[in-house]
């Protein structure tokens, strides 16, 4: 019997199915199975087709690498101090967030520094790219543009250059290898095209940056394997209604993860934001209940963020929990702790929680600031304008230590804050002209807010 090479691959999670069905059994996604031809090369993978490999030692001086600075500090920091030659980066983000703009600006900068830059767009025509370049004031004629989608052609071209270059692919979902039957954007095409481009880039020690589309739930479209194939995964986030955008490293083989770079979208491209805390606090109002300032840490950088809560009586059977920029499961946990340990009744209240400015917080250290905003809103007691909070809340209502308190306190002091509320167990170096409220239990926070901190 002839074995069929046809398989059905879930475009969402990459699971292989032998038969088509309307729903992927693995990830429960509907209508995500696509028929793909997975034929392997016919020749045997015999012992004779291999070659002996030679080994190197890590103390070999020729293996030294130097990072390439883009002269956009925010960008360099996210990369861990500049771009590493031979590295592959994947940048994902919602449509229209500014991925193409950011990368065009980067090649604009790098080309003025004398680097060979190639920008390949599979989405836009050359005239559209030119329009954008004009808008961004990129007049440097050394950047090479192409509007093609054949990954094989691109790989051959890169190999023929025989010199390090910076190669931007906008976007990887539009690329295809003519050798495969599947359509561009399918799992096998995306995977195979990426593989082909990576091989070509590594051969010439080039820097490859791939733009990736994201799915509705915010992960990069195509299989997660794409994230394993690259060295660095960055997400470009932000709300289209806000001017600022955040570039966040989710995976980085050459630097810290969760590092962020903050940019502001202007009429002539993205501008770096040097002090993001100032920007995130710029619209703060005095004497308003329901807001608290969280002294957070994104990667290696401290950042102050305003947490806003509005707690109102609910008319619904199951009250509303609307949340922007924080984790809904974490909010439910915090509400349960407030309810059972502090006797604050929230089960018949709607809670709206917003992290001002469109930034997303992932740190558990924000628990205390969120709790403070909720308590302040329900009691209608404004929190002092010069107070900041950090600390994780445990299920028994205890306040737990968090990492790097000194950095957070220094940032708060720099921006004129005078009072820090933090876990009792947290050992910190006391700064001059600052007061500290050490709290052990969440209940202490309620007393603190009642007593007008």
Report the partner that residue 272 touches, choosing among Mg ion, ligand TYD, none (CB closer than 5 to 8 A by kind): none
Place of tokens 């997660």: 224
User: Contacts with ligand TYD in 46-85 (CB under 6 A)?
Assistant: none
Pick 242 or 436: Cβ nearer ligand TYD = 242
Report the partner that residue 261 touches, choosing among ligand TYD, Mg ion, none (CB closer than 5 to 8 A by kind): none
Report the partner that residue 93 touches, choosing among Mg ion, ligand TYD, none (CB closer than 5 to 8 A by kind): ligand TYD
Question: Does 99 interact with ligand TYD (rule: CB under 6 A)?
Answer: yes
User: Contacts with ligand TYD in 130-149 (CB under 6 A)?
Assistant: 132, 135-136
Whether residue 280 contacts residue 301, with contact meaning beta carbons closer than 8 Å, is answered with no
Contact string 47-86 vs Mg ion (x = CB under 5 A)? ----------------------------------------
Pick from 100, 165, 376, 426 the residue near Mg ion by CB under 5 A. 100
Report the partner that residue 101 touches, choosing among Mg ion, ligand TYD, none (CB closer than 5 to 8 A by kind): ligand TYD
334 Ramachandran zone, left/alpha/beta (phi>0; psi -120 to 50): alpha
Please tell me the distance from the alpha carbon of residue 393 to that of residue 140, in angstroms, as a whole number: 53
User: Contacts with ligand TYD in 262-301 (CB under 6 A)?
Assistant: 265, 267-269
Please tell me the distance from the alpha carbon of residue 13 to that of residue 140, in angstroms, as a whole number: 41
Report the partner that residue 132 touches, choosing among Mg ion, ligand TYD, none (CB closer than 5 to 8 A by kind): ligand TYD
Least spacing, CB of residue 25 vs ligand TYD, in Å: 33
Please tell me the distance from the alpha carbon of residue 152 to that of residue 150, in angstroms, as a whole number: 5
Pick 80 or 93: Cβ nearer ligand TYD = 93
Residues touching ligand TYD, count (CB under 6 A): 15
Pick from 43, 50, 96, 416 the residue near ligand TYD by CB under 6 A. 96
Q: Which stretch binds ligand TYD (CB under 6 A): 79-87, 90-98, 279-287, 297-305?
A: 90-98
Q: Which stretch binds Mg ion (CB under 5 A): 35-43, 58-66, 96-104, 333-341?
A: 96-104
Report the partner that residue 98 touches, choosing among ligand TYD, Mg ion, none (CB closer than 5 to 8 A by kind): ligand TYD
Pick 8 or 236: Cβ nearer Mg ion = 236
CA-wise closest residue to 330 among 393, 238, 388: 393
Report the partner that residue 224 touches, choosing among Mg ion, ligand TYD, none (CB closer than 5 to 8 A by kind): none
CA-wise closest residue to 90 among 159, 144, 170, 156: 170
Helices 367-379, 328-342: crossing angle, 10 deg rounding: 60
Whether residue 137 contacts residue 177, with contact meaning beta carbons closer than 8 Å, is answered with no
Least spacing, CB of residue 89 vs ligand TYD, in Å: 15
Least spacing, CB of residue 183 vs ligand TYD, in Å: 21
Non-local (6+) Cβ contacts of 36 within 8 A are 6, 7, 8, 9, 181, 182, 186, 187, 188
Please tell me the distance from the alpha carbon of residue 243 to that of residue 228, in angstroms, as a whole number: 32
Least spacing, CB of residue 136 vs ligand TYD, in Å: 6
Which residues of the shown chain bind ligand TYD in the complex (CB under 6 A)?
Answer: 93, 95-101, 132, 135-136, 265, 267-269
Which residues of the shown chain bind Mg ion in the complex (CB under 5 A)?
Answer: 100
């Amino acid at each position: 019997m002839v074995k069929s090479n046809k398989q059905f691959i879930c475009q969402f999670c990459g699971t292989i199915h032998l038969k088509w069905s309307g729903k992927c059994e693995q990830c429960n996604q509907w209508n995500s199975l696509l028929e793909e031809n997975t034929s392997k090369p016919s020749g045997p993978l015999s012992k004779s087709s291999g070659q002996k490999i030679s080994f190197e030692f890590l103390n070999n001086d020729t293996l030294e690498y130097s990072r390439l600075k883009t002269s956009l500090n925010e960008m360099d920091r996210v990369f861990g101090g500049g771009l590493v030659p031979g590295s592959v980066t994947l940048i994902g983000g919602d449509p229209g967030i500014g991925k193409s703009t950011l990368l065009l600006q980067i090649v604009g900068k790098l080309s003025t520094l004398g680097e060979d830059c190639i920008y390949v767009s599979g989405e836009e025509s050359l005239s559209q790219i030119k329009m954008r370049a004009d808008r961004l004031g990129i007049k440097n004629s050394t950047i090479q543009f192409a509007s093609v989608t054949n990954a094989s052609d691109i790989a051959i071209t890169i190999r023929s250059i025989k010199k390090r270059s910076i190669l931007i692919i906008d976007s990887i979902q539009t690329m295809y290898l003519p050798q495969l039957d599947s359509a561009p954007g399918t799992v096998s095409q995306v995977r195979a095209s990426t593989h082909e481009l990576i091989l070509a880039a590594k051969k010439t020690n080039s820097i490859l940056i791939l733009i990736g589309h994201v799915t509705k739930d915010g992960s990069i479209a195509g299989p997660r394997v794409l994230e394993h194939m690259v060295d660095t995964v960055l997400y470009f986030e932000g709300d289209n209604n806000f001017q600022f955008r955040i570039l966040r490293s989710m995976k980085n083989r050459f630097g810290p993860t969760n590092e962020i770079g903050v940019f502001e979208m202007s009429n002539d491209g993205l501008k770096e934001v040097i002090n993001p805390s100032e920007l995130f606090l710029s619209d703060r109002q005095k004497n308003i209940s329901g807001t608290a300032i969280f002294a957070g840490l994104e990667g290696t950088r401290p950042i102050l963020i305003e947490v806003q809560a509005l707690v109102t009586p609910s008319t619904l059977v199951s009250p509303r929990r609307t949340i922007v920029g924080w984790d809904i499961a974490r909010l439910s946990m915090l509400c349960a702790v407030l309810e059972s340990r502090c006797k604050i009744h929230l089960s018949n209240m709607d809670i709206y929680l917003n992290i001002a400015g469109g930034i997303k917080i992932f740190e558990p250290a924000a628990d205390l600031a969120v709790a403070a905003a909720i308590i302040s809103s329900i009691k209608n007691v404004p929190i002092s304008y010069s107070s900041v909070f950090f600390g994780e809340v445990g299920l028994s209502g205890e306040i737990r230590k968090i990492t790097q308190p000194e950095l957070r306190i220094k940032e708060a002091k720099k921006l004129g804050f005078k009072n820090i509320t933090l876990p009792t167990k947290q050992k910190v170096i006391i700064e001059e002209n600052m007061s500290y409220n050490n709290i052990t239990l969440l209940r202490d926070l309620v007393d603190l807010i009642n007593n007008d901190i």
